[in-house]
Structures are given as structure tokens and as C-alpha cells.
Structure 1
Amino acid sequence: MRLGADVAPPVAAATTSEGPVVESTSKGQLLSEADLVRIEKAHPDGLSSAQIIQIFQQRGVKLSEATFRKYVQLGLLPRCRRVGTKGKHRGSRGVYPCATVRRINSIKRLMERSYTIEEIQQSFSNFKSNIESVESALDELFKGFEREIARPQFDHAKRRTLTGDIREARQTATDLVRRLIQIESHISFPEKSQAAGGRSPSDI
């Protein structure tokens, strides 16, 4: 199943109007584990669809807004959450968890190994919802901690200590979710030999 004929024009800038993305000069290559970790650390609060799309287009990997939306509709990617914006023109924007970048990278890599969209969709559904529930629950827990320590009964020194503890715990949680996603990928998609005439990761 082919999802759109994406066109990936050259992207010179490493930023979008919504903020910086991790710069990559390699063309036509999927993200390495080091790339993924760097992106996840740089954007712990998530990224917009425009930022995610640009990350792949900078590498020459075809990914359009229409294909991105199709992945979301098929349940291959998580839905965004609305985040309020600050400043004169207030509103909200959609933010996707960092794991979205890793998921798209996996989709492209699996297509390279001749997996169909149907196979990918079926396998993702096995553990995806459980991992997303864990990630969402942890996020709500940390937000609750942060709201609690903002209350006046905590003095500056105590608040600073707890803030550091929460920051470290958040990073540990991020690493845990990333590891769970890696394990899920290995379980759901054991190595599959490249079939003759297999799809390129740019064809989806």
C-alpha cells in the first residue's frame, strides 16, 4: 500500500518558525540511534508536525504533511496534544511526543525491509497503546509533582532540590519509554529478509 507521492525539496535551514530542529546534512538516510537520542534530548516536550517533517526532509527522506496525517489516521502515530502559546497572539498548537520521530523512522525502515502498511499497522497495535499509556501516565505524574512543589509551603531550597529530582526522574522516564519502544520494535518486527523488488523507505 503506497501512501502518497511525497516530494522532498532541498531544505537549507535547520530551523522552523516553531523552533530549532536537530541539524542533519546527510541525504537519503534514515536516522541512527544517536540521531534519535539527540532529538529526544533536544525536544523533551515534543515537536510540531512541521518540525518532524523537516527532520526527515533534511535527510532526503520523503515525508509530506498529507502522509503524516495519514499515519496518524491509521493509528501508526500518536495524536497530538494542544499546548497553549505565550505572547501577544495567544492560542494553541499541536505537539507530538518525541517518540513520533522514532516511530516514523521505524515505519520507513520496515518498508525498506518489504513490510506492508497492513503488517506494520497490525504489529504496532500489539503494544503501542500500552506504551503510550505508560508515557501519558508518567507525564501527568511529573506535572502533578511540579504543581505541588509550586505551593507556598515549600521554601526555595526545598523547591530547588525537588525540581532537580523531578528533572532527573523525567530523564529516567524518557530513557525507559525509549527502551520500551526499542524492545517493542524488536518483538513486533523480527528481522525480515529484503525481498526482491522491496520498497524503499521513501516510497511510503
Structure 2
Amino acid sequence: MDQSVLVRLEAEYARGISSASILDVLASLGVKFSEATLRKWVQLGLLPRSVRVGRKGKHAGSQGMYPTTIVRQILQIKEMLSDGLTIEQVQHDVLFVRGDLEELRRSLSKVFVTLESAIDKVDSQPLRYSVAQDLSLARALADQLVDRLAQAESRLVRKVGLEVEAATG
């Protein structure tokens, strides 16, 4: 999967993605995935739970929104399964550090949103510009860091999973 496609999708759904949109995106990528599988993988802890987000308007209710990275996670899990790992091996391996990486990604995002909103309150244009540049660079570095950690984790999971399979097979 082309990383630029995933980055674009994550930017498009920056505020979260509904289960229906997840299925639509995966279908557009030619990936077979069902609502039942989504629910099962969430129950198993392979994927994060949705967060209820209120809709604008009176009596509009709320909608379950998943983190934008869920499409990336689903594709990684499907790849691991196609590599021959069992759902139990994937469950063990995904719980290895993937949850921590997602929490790190969310925490960093909150930090950037808070700092970026504080910039608007600064009177000095030069200071606003300077801090905005620093935050832009820091956000890019944070994204690279989390992506690099996820890649390392993914390679380790595959290696460990294949070694476990070879030892038991």
C-alpha cells in the first residue's frame, strides 16, 4: 500500500472516521472487510474502540468515531494474517506496542492542537510566526518518529511471528 494514500486518508479524516467510512475506504482500495470483522477485531483488542462524538444540531445524537489511523492498522493486520500468522499471534503481536504507539500519536496530536490554538492568542506577529514554524517542524518530526517506531515494531512483529511459526511448525 502506498504510504501517500494512507497519509492523504488520515488527513482527510483528521477528526476521526466512522465505521461506514472505514468500510467505504477499504472497499475503494479493493480490500474485503466487513462490519462484523471490525467489531470482532475491536473486541479482541486488535483495533481501538470508537469514541462517541456529538453531532451539531438539536437532537442530532452522537456518532462513533475511530482514530484516523485505523485504516492503516487494519491493512497491517490483514497483511500479517496473509503472511500466515494466526489471529492469536496477531493479537499477541499487535498488543506488543501498537496500542502504546496509537496512544503516543493521539497524545502528540492533542499537544499540537493545544499549542497551535495558543498561537492565536499571541499579539506579536514575529513571535507567532516563529512559534508556528517551530510547531510545524516539530509536528513533522513527531509524525516521522511515530511512523519510524511503527515500522520497527511491524518488522519485529513479523520476524518474531515467523520465528514462532517456524518453531511450532
Q: TM-score under structure 2 normalisation?
A: 0.77
Query: Equivalent residue for 1:126?
Result: 96
Q: Which secondary structure does the structure 2 equivalent of 1:106 belong to?
A: helix
Amino acid of the structure 2 residue aligned with 1:60: G
3-state SS of 2:46 partner: coil
Paired with 1:59 and 1:115, the residues of 2 have a C-alpha distance of 23
**Structure 1 residue 138, shift from structure 2 partner:** 1.1
Using a 3 Å threshold, how does the CA distance of structure 1 residues 95 and 147 change in structure 2: closer, same or farther?
same
SS at 2:30's partner residue? coil
Structure 1: gaps of 5 or more residues: 1-30, 196-204
Listed one character per residue, the Cα deviations across residues 77-104 of structure 1 (whole Å, up to 9, x for unaligned) are 1122344444566554333223211110
| Pairing 1:143–2:113 present | yes
TM-score in terms of structure 1 length: 0.66
* 1:48 corresponds to 2:18: yes
Name the amino acid aligned to 1:132.
E
Identity %: 40
Aligned: 1:186 with 2:155: yes
**Matched residues in 2 for 1:172 and 1:183: separation?**
16
Partners of 1:99 and 1:178 within 8 A in 2: no
Equivalent position SS for 2:149:
helix
Deviations 1:61-91 (A, max 9, x none): 2211121111111111112234444456655
Following TM superposition, by how much is the alpha carbon of 1:192 offset from its aligned partner in structure 2, in angstroms? 4.2
The answer on whether the counterparts of 1:146 and 1:163 sit within 8 Å (CA) in structure 2 is yes
The one-letter code of the counterpart of 1:109 is E
How far the C-alpha of 1:114 sits from its partner, in A, is 1.5
Are the structure 2 counterparts of residues 89 and 182 from structure 1 closer, same or farther at C-alpha, using a change threshold of 3 Å? farther
Q: Give the secondary-structure state (helix, strand or coil) at the position aligned to 1:189.
A: helix
- For the aligned residues, what is the CA RMSD? 2.8
Q: Which has the higher contact order (CA 8 A, sep 6+)?
A: 1
CA gap of 1:95–1:119, structure 2 versus 1, over 3 A, is same
Task: Map 1:33-112 onto structure 2 (within 5 A).
Answer: 33-86=3-56, 91-112=61-82
Query: Whose helix fraction is larger, Structure 1's or Structure 2's?
Result: 2
Residue 119 of structure 1 deviates from its aligned partner by 0.6
Task: Quote the Cα distance in structure 1 between the aligned partners of 2:137 and 2:15.
Answer: 15
SS of the residue aligned with 2:155? helix
Aligned partner of 1:199 in structure 2 is none
Give structure 2 stretches of 5+ with no counterpart: none
Once residues 88 and 30 of structure 2 are traced to their aligned partners in structure 1, the CA distance between those partners, rounded to angstroms, is 25
Q: 1:188 deviation in Å?
A: 1.0
Query: Is 1:172 matched with 2:136?
Result: no
2:124, 2:14 → 1: CA distance?
A: 25
Taking a change above 3 Å as real, the CA distance of residues 59 and 148 of structure 1, as seen in their structure-2 partners, is closer
**Bigger mean CA deviation after superposition, 116-125 or 142-151:** 142-151
Aligned partners of 2:149, 2:92: CA distance in 1, in Å? 18
Deviates more, 1:121-130 or 1:39-48: 39-48
Deviations 1:122-153 (A, max 9, x none): 111111232123223212222331343344xx
| Structure 1 Cα separation of the partners of residues 144 and 97 of structure 2 | 17
